[in-house]
Structure formats: C-alpha cells, structure tokens
C-alpha cells in the first residue's frame, strides 16, 4: 500500500490524467461519449453528495457478499472434503473438470430463466463464480499440508477427526484465506458484470445507465469508484491476513 501511495507511484497516474484532460479538451470530442477527468471528478463529487453512489455501492456489496457466502462456503466444504479424501477427489475429477471451464457469465442466461431479473439471479451467478476458486484452492490447501505434521499426528495416534481438527485445518488455514481473497475478487467482478447485463441495481447498473443516458462523466466516475472499491476490499483482506497469520499467511512461509 505504502509503495502504491508513494509520490513516485502517483506520478504516472497524474501524468495520464493530465494528458487525458488536455487531449479531450483539445480534440473537442463529443461530450455525449467521453468526458475529461475534471468532469468525471465533478460527477463523482455530485453522486457522493446526493448519496446515489453509496446506495449502489451498498447494493453491489450486499449481493456480492451474499453470493460469496453461499458459493464460497459450498466451495470451502467441497474443497476440504476433496482435499481430505483421495477417493472422493478421484471420483469427482471428471465432473469437476467438465464444469470448471464454464465461465460464470455464461450462466447468466440460465440464471435469468430460473431466477428472473434481479437480486436472486445476481447472487446465484456470484455464488457459482466464487464456488470454483474456493473449491480448487481449498482442496490445494489441504493437500499442501506439511507431510511431517501428518506423521506427528500418526506418531501420536490422533484419531482421524482430531487429525483434521487439530492438524490439517489449522495448517491449511492461511492458504484457505488466500482462497477467500481470490474468490472475493472474482465475486466482485461477476457481481458488477451481472448488474451491467441484467440486474438493474448496484454499481454495474449505474455505469450502464449513465452510459445509455449519455452521461459519460457519471459513467467514468462510477468506473473509477469500482477501481477504488476493488483496491480497498483487497487491501482490507490483505491486512486481515497479516493480522491473523503473520508470516505464516504467505503460502510456503510457514516458518
């Protein structure tokens, strides 16, 4: 974070913004399609002050969190079970490899049939999108548990249940958290995508409707805000990760 916010790090974005400002003004591009940064910032201030930005932010975050909760927890459980049982993992490989490459956006039409337009559909798509990274990474987290620790469990003759509870899960937890971070990023992307395509709410819809009602300044302001939101969510999770796990939070850095 500190590197990102350092003066030198801000130089390039500042120059790009300045360039855009000059270019848009000089070329006198049609204001129906594009807006200079200054207008976008004015629009950002406007939608902040009238509160619409925060309403749509809340809608996007809530739908994403719901989807993440549903799909993420299903993926967590499935990933842990598959990581624990080699037999289950072998039985499921073909089915998983068939479904996994299906992009979550491709499910939007199906979800629309099942859930109609709106909230439930967005949650379903986000859940599907969050399920896969959670499953794959959690399975990997379990499989990556230090074999020596499993031998300690064997030496102590821990029961299967105690081995999972006292050794495997705590050892896998830092990587499981990384899985959560990855799934959160993907969930946010799919939430906004769904809003752009077919759920009239949230930041995605705000971007879309601003573009369609010929308010490019408003559109750019919302897009910029999405970027800010992504950075805030990810650094929040990174902060939490280092608080919870310290050095052990970095995969491979268990020492």
Partner 1 sequence: MSQSAVATSQAAPEICFDGVDLSLGGLEILKGIDLEIRRGEFICVIGPSGCGKTTMLRLIAGFHRATAGAVMHEGRAVNGPSPDIAIVFQDYGKALLPWRNAADNVALALEAMRVPKSQRADMITGFLGKVGLADHAQKFPSQMSGGMQQRLQIARALAQNPSVLLMDEPFGALDAMTRQTLQDECLNLVENMGTTVFFVTHDIEEAIYLGDRVVTLSPNPGRIADIHTVNLPRPRNQLTTREDPEFLRLRRVLFDFIQGH
Residues of span 159-188 touching partner 1 by CB under 8 A: 162, 166-167, 170-171, 173
CA distance 196 to 63: 14
Whole-number minimum distance, CB 80 to partner 1, in Å? Answer: 17
Joined tokens for residue 186: 């993907």
Give the residue with the Cβ less far from partner 1, 158 or 237: 158
By rule CB under 8 A, what string of x and - marks binding of each residue 125-164 to partner 1? ---------------------x-xx-xx-xxxxx---x--
Q: Of 25 and 154, which has the nearer Cβ to partner 1?
A: 154
> 46 vs 166, which CB is nearer to partner 1?
166
Q: Give Cβ neighbours of residue 1 (< 8 Å, ≥ 6 apart).
A: 235
Of the candidates 217, 138, 122, which has an alpha carbon nearest to the alpha carbon of residue 181? 138
Of 154 and 242, nearer to partner 1 (C-beta) is 154
Q: Which residues make Cβ contacts (< 8 Å) with residue 199, sequence separation at least 6?
A: 63, 117, 118, 119, 121, 122, 205
- Max distance between CA atoms of the chain, in angstroms, equals 77
Minimum distance from residue 94 beta carbon to partner 1 (Å): 28
**Least CB distance to partner 1 at residue 18 (A):** 47
Asked if 118 interacts with partner 1 (CB under 8 A), we say no
Structure tokens at 108: 């939007």
Phi, psi (rounded to 5 degrees) for 28: 55, 50
Tokens of 126: 């986000």
What residues line the site for partner 1 (CB under 8 A)? 146, 148-149, 151-152, 154-158, 162, 166-167, 170-171, 173, 246-248, 254-255
């Amino acid at each position: 974070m500190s590197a990102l916010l350092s003066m030198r790090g801000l130089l390039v974005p500042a120059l790009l913004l300045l360039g855009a400002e000059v270019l848009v003004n000089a070329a006198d591009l049609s204001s129906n399609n594009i807006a200079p940064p200054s207008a976008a910032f004015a629009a950002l201030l406007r939608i902040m002050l009238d509160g619409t930005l925060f309403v749509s932010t809340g809608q996007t975050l809530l739908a994403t969190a719901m989807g993440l909760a549903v799909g993420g927890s299903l993926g967590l459980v499935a990933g842990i079970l598959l990581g624990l049982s080699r037999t289950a993992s072998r039985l499921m490989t073909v089915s998983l490899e068939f479904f996994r490459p299906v992009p979550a956006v491709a499910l939007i039409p199906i979800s629309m049939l099942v859930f109609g337009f709106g909230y439930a559909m967005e949650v379903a798509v986000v859940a599907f999108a969050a399920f896969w990274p959670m499953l794959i990474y959690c399975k990997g987290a379990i499989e990556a548990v230090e074999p020596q620790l499993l031998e300690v469990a064997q030496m102590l003759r821990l029961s299967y249940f105690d081995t999972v509870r006292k050794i495997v899960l705590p050892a896998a937890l830092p990587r499981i958290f990384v899985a959560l971070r990855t799934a959160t990023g993907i969930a946010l992307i799919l939430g906004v995508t769904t809003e752009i395509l077919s759920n009239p709410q949230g930041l995605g819809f705000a971007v879309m409707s601003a573009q369609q009602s010929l308010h490019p300044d408003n559109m750019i302001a919302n897009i910029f805000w999405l970027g800010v939101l992504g950075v805030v969510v990810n650094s929040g999770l990174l902060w939490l990760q280092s608080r919870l796990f310290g050095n052990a939070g970095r995969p491979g850095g268990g020492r």
